[in-house]
Structure 1
């Protein structure tokens, strides 16, 4: 019997205006896929430049952001990241399992009508890594093996089923698969290395300092 899924991954909720802004920018990213490179779009370019100036002026946060803020910027699930499709997840602790949902539009296309393989790998890394919330421990990806079974289609709802298969003192092994229309398009196996909170925080701080 499957227990009711839990929610472990919390985001700060953006304001209504930010929700509208991110949604509009996602439309822009998708729409750009259909605009010819030779299109004369002076008005659109001017409007985009004005918007960029406004947002740069509004920016009050640096790279060093607390976790709840940082998670809103995720390239796959960030509610404040227009590049994020985004992805949502359900957590099943009794089954050591996380089930995620996502849809990539044509902006993420590699081969015709197919998701770029790099985004497929990133999706598996993110979805498998979400299982860390079932352990309440920080971790980083030690290795990720991706096997592409068939093309992953764009504009089709995808499900990623990830499950912890091995648990050790210093690492865990997670396996998962991407499904489209009930068919497996890619499978992944990741080894995730646990880090103590102090070491994880030091790693994050070093990364932030290097990004200044």
Structure 2
């Protein structure tokens, strides 16, 4: 049975989302869009890294690869219906990640205990070869306690009440 994926906390469609990894309003960002794959119990995004993300010639910068993996693992929190932030992340760069090539980023849950959630992610090419992978620990937070003042300021600027 597929989990119910809802819009709590930072998953709300908020005006002016400038998240570097997934924000549609950040034109310099990655604008990743993850969807739930019920067969694999994972969050998956199609990715194509443009030239602005260059590291070695023709390939993506390691920091951008880390961002994609972090987003993939972070989106796994939707499966758990929690808001959590990255506490720890380990990355293995296995092969150079080419630019302007169709890629798949996938994040999967591993386990959780209390407020701690362990996840894994990988970036694959169109042939299924794993180019980079990660594992991470995410810690559940109360988004209003952590970011409520920032959300209130942002919503006031666009004329909305935070309780809407």
Change (3 A) 1:201 1:81: same
TM-score, normalising length: structure 2: 0.78
Change (3 A) 1:192 1:70: farther
Aligned equivalent of 2:132: 186
Q: Which structure's residues are more often helix, by fraction?
A: 1
Q: Deviations over 1:38-80 (max 9, x none)?
A: xxxxxxxxxxxxxxxxxxxxxxxxxxx9952267322122222
Aligned equivalent of 1:55: none
Q: How does 1:1-212 map to 2 (within 5 A)?
A: 8=6, 67-69=12-14, 72-92=17-37, 95-181=40-126, 182-195=128-141, 197=142, 200-205=143-148
Structure 1: gaps spanning 5 or more residues: 11-64
Structure showing greater radius of gyration is: 1
Q: How big is the shift at 1:94?
A: 6.8
Q: Deviations over 1:143-196 (max 9, x none)?
A: 01011001111001110121101121121110111001321110000101112x
Matched residue count? 150
Higher relative contact order (CA 8 A, sep 6+): 2
Conserved? CA contact 1:159–1:179, under 8 Å: yes
Q: Deviations over 1:3-42 (max 9, x none)?
A: 88987569xxxxxxxxxxxxxxxxxxxxxxxxxxxxxxxx
Conserved? CA contact 1:150–1:185, under 8 Å: yes
Q: Which structure's residues are more often strand, by fraction?
A: 2
RMSD: 3.0
Q: How big is the shift at 1:98?
A: 0.9
